[in-house]
Amino acid sequence: MDYPQWLLPTFIRSARAAGATAPDEEITDAAERLITRWNGKDRHHHDLHHLTDVLSRVTALAPETHSPDLVRLAAYYHGCVFSTSEKDAYTRNGGENEVESARVARAELAELGIEEKKVDRIADLITGMKKQPREEDPCVSTTLSTVDIDKLALRDAHLGSLAAGPQKYAKYLEAVREEYAHIPAQSFLEARREIVKRLLARKQIFVSPLGRQWESQARENLSAELDRLEVKLAELQNIQIPAETEPPSEWKHPGSPNDTSDSVPNPETETEASPLTPEEYAQKRAENPLVPADRPSELEVLPSSQDDLLPRTLSQGP
């Protein structure tokens, strides 16, 4: 499998810096098992490319962290357990499983000889990605003691994909949809809309000092995505007329060219009758006497009240 040349050596150096006592061969084996996990066939976005992107952003945020090697090891393991099954998706346990990934990290890092306290810390960093951090400003000195800057940096490194350029962001969305291709379009779009709305509702998406450089681009991407989601959902929810209720293709409307009835004259198909002579008129008059004047016609109107300025015809009813 193809992966950057720095991926294995960086894992080994971070493990050694964290106190690993196992031989290099064992540490290399652990790294290769991780790479195999990240290279699963059901991964389209949350794959090796995603892992290397997160690690690159961890390096960018490393100057503000207290234990950069522990943060880096947490990044290696943060989504090593992954599922897009329908059951997990509908119970909101789909995607990267932080809890199970933390268990894998505990077992494997302990075997490499890293002390329990540091292993616990790495696992805590991973499970911490599942929870939204308190919106406290880590730039304010009075709150530094209450802020876990390493957790914030890892979370920001993970969310950094939201701040990609427009073309890369579009590919990210395509890859995520491909991971959930078995989920019906409307269900997927509604779930995605909920996620995007929650992100935009945050006071800050990126909460570490260095991570704030990605805030503007991420909000621009998310706002544009939300607009597209609303359009797609509106199109899916648009009620279509069933085929059996649609009018016939050759609907005959009175007076239309394809109407063959003689109820309404069609000036394009009928010729004008010649005027009657006085003798013909008298004969017609004798055969069809006029309607008596005291017989109300359909156009006769009901008496109008003072407040009713527009009289109603009898055919319209009260």
Q: Which amino acid is at 5?
A: Q
Residue written as token pair 């960093």: 125
Residue 141 pLDDT: 42
Residue 42 pLDDT: 78
Angle between helices 149-159 and 116-128 (to 10 degrees): 50
Question: What distance in Å separates the CA atoms of residue 17 and residue 234, rounded to the nearest whole number?
Answer: 53
DSSP state letters, the chain: ----TTHHHHHHHHHHHTT--S-HHHHHHHHHHHHHHHT-TT-SSSSHHHHHHHHHHHHHHGGG-S-HHHHHHHHHHTTSSEE--HHHHHTT--EE-HHHHHHHHHHHHHHTT--HHHHHHHHHHHHHTTSPPP---TTSGGGGGG--HHHHHHHHHHHGGGGS-HHHHHHHHHHHHHHTTTS-HHHHHHHHHHHHHHHHHSS-S--STGGGGGHHHHHHHHHHHHHHHHHHHHHHHSPPPPGGGSPPTT---TTSTT---SSS--TTTSPPPPPPPHHHHHHHHHHSPPPPTTSPPTT-BPPPPTT--S--BGGG--
- The two three-digit tokens of residue 71, written as one number: 């943060």
Taking the chain (318 residues) in runs of 10, the rounded mean pLDDT of each run is 87 97 96 91 84 96 96 96 60 70 96 97 94 54 63 96 95 91 91 95 94 96 96 82 48 48 45 57 61 42 39 35
- Work out the number of other CB atoms within 10 angstroms of the CB of residue 224: 13
Please, what are the domains in the chain?
A: 7-131+148-237 (1.10.1300.10)
Residue 300 pLDDT: 39
Per the CB < 8 A criterion, the answer to whether 82 and 43 are in contact is yes
- The two three-digit tokens of residue 293, written as one number: 């004047």
